Amino acid sequence: MTNNLKVERARHNMTQADLAEAISVSRQSINAIEKSKFVPSTVLALKLAKLFKKPVEELFELESED
């Protein structure tokens, strides 16, 4: 799975810590998601989509091997 989280975060001038606080997770969680080391839960993906006012599909995309 790939994601555009880092791009969206930059567009909103947010640090990883800012984003983590906004959705009540750790900064390490945001870092792991951005580096594709952690796949977020559905609830977390929906929180991120709501925060950035984007469909989930614009933040996360399945790769062919997923």
Determine how many CB atoms are found less than 10 A away from the CB of residue 65.
5
Q: In angstroms, what CA-CA distances link 9 with 5, 55, 64, 65, 66? A: 6, 15, 25, 26, 24
- Spatial separation of the C-alpha atoms in residues 38 and 30, rounded to whole Å: 9
| Tens of pLDDT, residues 14-58 | 999 999 999 999 999 999 999 999 999 999 999 999 999 999 999
SS3 38: coil
Is the model's pLDDT at 66 over the cut of 90?
no
**The two structure tokens encoding residue 21:** 């606080």
pLDDT of residue 65: 83
pLDDT of residue 64: 85
CATH number of 2-52: 1.10.260.40
